[in-house]
Chains A and B, each alone.
Chain A
Amino acid sequence: MIEAKGLTKVYGGKAAVGGVSFTVQAGQVTGFLGPNGAGKSTTMRMVMGLDRPTSGTVTVNGLPYAEHKAPLHEVGALLDAKAVHTSRSAYNHLLAMAATHGIPKSRVNEVIEMTGLEAVAKKKAGGFSLGMGQRLGIAAALLGDPQTLILDEPVNGLDPEGVLWVRNLVRYLANQGKTVFLSSHLMSEMAQTADHLIVIGRGRIIADAPVQQIIAGTRQARTLVRTSSASQLSALLAGDGVKVDQSETETLEVTGMDSRQIAQVALENRVLVYELTPQHSSLEDAYFDLTKDEVEYHSHLADGPAGEYASATAGK
């Protein structure tokens, strides 16, 4: 279990993390989601005692990380896949880490096998691809068979097979009752992996709830309508509590009315409708709703979902 209370980190007068409090429970995967620069890594570094909080406290399994007698058995962390001496082999890197806790060589070989690094274990870590580096970082995190795992962007640079492997691994560990705290900016990944989400933006917690609740709670159900007379139908549907967006010539997005009611209106007015699809809101939508005011670095090209959403609301 990880408990943060009023955790704050100020860099040069600017608060990277501004008084965040949260609890990460054992036995589930907790996702830590936020745009770039939101303070995810800084928060995780403070949990691991690498950065000193400007104020506030954070404990892991009841104690500040540095006060544990056997820290690697308490917490395994992947904060930075490049936290390895480039001229040392993966095997020797893990061996040196293991030696601090008297972890036997057999365990080193075990984590190498678990992470699929057998073929490259004796090679210099400096020559590793990003994906191999991530696997080595995960191997180091698993070394002490810790009760709590903290993984900062673990799927970064992994191939699809690697992504699946990480997903299964963290699910397995959570099922064993371990605490898993996982950061990512990939919402699709989070939707499939996490049970609980903590969303951070500009150094503040903006949501802390189960994944399903976050997805359900943020946006009303929408329906995609394709019709030959979009403007006519749009005028007919628009009204109290109903919002209609026209994205293409023959495509409407209707909020505040279900598909049956739309079909009814269309039938009564003899409007041809050739598609009527209820849209399930995704974590992605929820995420953009939550973070639209909190993004540190806006991209000005209106491509991608963020741009689409921004222009859709602006157009209305």
Chain B
Amino acid sequence: MTTMTETRTRARSTASSTAGTGGVTFPRVLRSEWIKLRSLMSTRILLLLTLVAIIGVGGLAVLIRYTYLENMARTARDQGQTMTPEMMEKSFPPGSGFDLYNLPNAGLQIGILVLGSLAVLFISSEYATGMIRSTMNAVPRRTPAFLAKAILLAVVSYVITTVAAVATFLIAMPVFQGLGFDLDWSTDGVLYSVFTGGLYVAGVALIGLSLGTLLRNSAGGITVLVGMFFVLSIASSFMTLIPGEFWKYVPQYIPSEAGGRFLSIGHTDGVIDPWQGGLVFLGYVVLFLVPALVVLKKRDV
């Protein structure tokens, strides 16, 4: 088809126009942004390292739990007892973070940090270098360029996180099966965990893109992002020490905790359900995306 179009263009214009006459369409803008994303060596290296790092941290989490459980079983054996996997699981109080189903997301924090920062940079570096003016010359309506960036970042973040989650689980499965645990793809929560971790990271990337757009500054955007997803969650754990029921109720609504709830399964008394956590987090994403889009459309560049 391409060849045909080219031939026709050449046949039609004898003077010079090898440039064609095509207009701006969303798929074309998407393609342009994809070229921008993949044509930076730094981005390619960063994405590869992120993948490796998420899997690496996941593998480490597997190793730590394996060593701990192995020890527990050996101690029991030495005392002449047998410890079944069920007994091991029961020895951990509920909510202590032992659950094996969310092992695929053990390295998620790395994904949040790196992919979130990359999303900030994807637009803030355009402001820093002046590239944004070329972008808006080519797509003067501006909104399609922003949406194309958003879609690309969300998809790339989702794919990388999910691939890493699958890989982590493929490492975890044989290890814990060896200990006698009943862990495979059909274990409660495993599939959910593998396929929703990426959604959370994609949401963080969208918040990163919005921050980069609003602040037009790489360092500022990344600082706010880290503040939101790392510092705020530490601060919120202190919040629970304040007397009164209210302060125990608040922390679960901060972005990182709401996202964390979204990645867990089942109902726990006293905290919001996973789907509610997901909705709260989605609310945050929209809360950042919409002002970014409005400002991008209105502001001089």
Interface residues, chain A, with chain B CB atoms under 8 Å away:
45, 48-52, 65-66, 68-73, 77, 79-80, 82-89, 92-93, 95-97, 99-104, 106-107, 110, 126, 140, 143-145, 176
Contacts and interface: CB of A to CB of B under 8 A. Distances in A.
B130 A80 contact: yes
Contact of B19 (A86, A93, A103, A176): A103
A19 B41 CA distance: 46
Contact of A102 (B28, B137, B140, B301): B28
B141 interface: yes
A50 to B, nearest CB: 5
Contacts of A145: 16-19
Interface of B: 2, 6, 15-25, 28-29, 31-33, 35-36, 39-42, 125-126, 129-134, 136-141, 298, 300-301
B36 A70 contact: no
B18 A104 contact: yes
Contacts of A176: 15
A3 to B, nearest CB: 17
A95 B23 CA distance: 15
Contacts of A92: 35-36, 39
13 contacts: A49-B136, A50-B133, A50-B136, A50-B301, A51-B301, A80-B130, A87-B41, A97-B32, A97-B138, A99-B35, A101-B23, A107-B18, A145-B16
Contacts, number: 126
A71 B134 CA distance: 12
Contact of A85 (B16, B126, B298): B126
Given A71-B140, A103-B20, A84 B35 contact: no
A83 B21 contact: no
Nearest to B35: A96
B130 A84 contact: yes
A88 B300 contact: no
A201 B131 CA distance: 29
B129 A86 contact: yes
Residue from A70, A88, A92, A99 with most neighbouring chain B CB atoms (10 Å): A99
A96 B35 CA distance: 6
Given A92-B39, A96-B35, A104 B6 contact: yes
A18 B257 CA distance: 52
A259 to B, nearest CB: 49
A100 B32 contact: yes
Nearest to B17: A145
Contacts of B6: 104, 106
A86 B41 CA distance: 12
Contact of B134 (A89, A97, A107): A97
A99 B32 contact: yes
A96 B36 contact: yes
B8 to A, nearest CB: 12
Contacts of B137: 48, 50, 71-72, 77, 79, 83
Contact of A101 (B24, B40, B42, B300): B24
A5 to B, nearest CB: 19
Contacts of B136: 49-50
Nearest to A46: B300
B19 to A, nearest CB: 4
B22 A103 contact: yes
A89 B41 CA distance: 10
Given A82-B130, A83-B137, A145-B18, 5 more contacts: A49-B136, A69-B24, A83-B130, A100-B29, A103-B22
Given A84-B129, A84-B130, A96 B22 contact: no
A102 B20 contact: yes
Given A48-B137, A85-B125, A89-B39, A100 B24 contact: yes
Contacts of A77: 137
Nearest to B18: A107
Given A52-B298, A99-B31, A104 B140 contact: no
Nearest to B31: A99
Contact of A99 (B16, B28, B298, B301): B28
Given A50-B133, A50-B301, A100-B139, A87 B42 contact: yes
A100 B28 contact: yes
Nearest to A143: B19
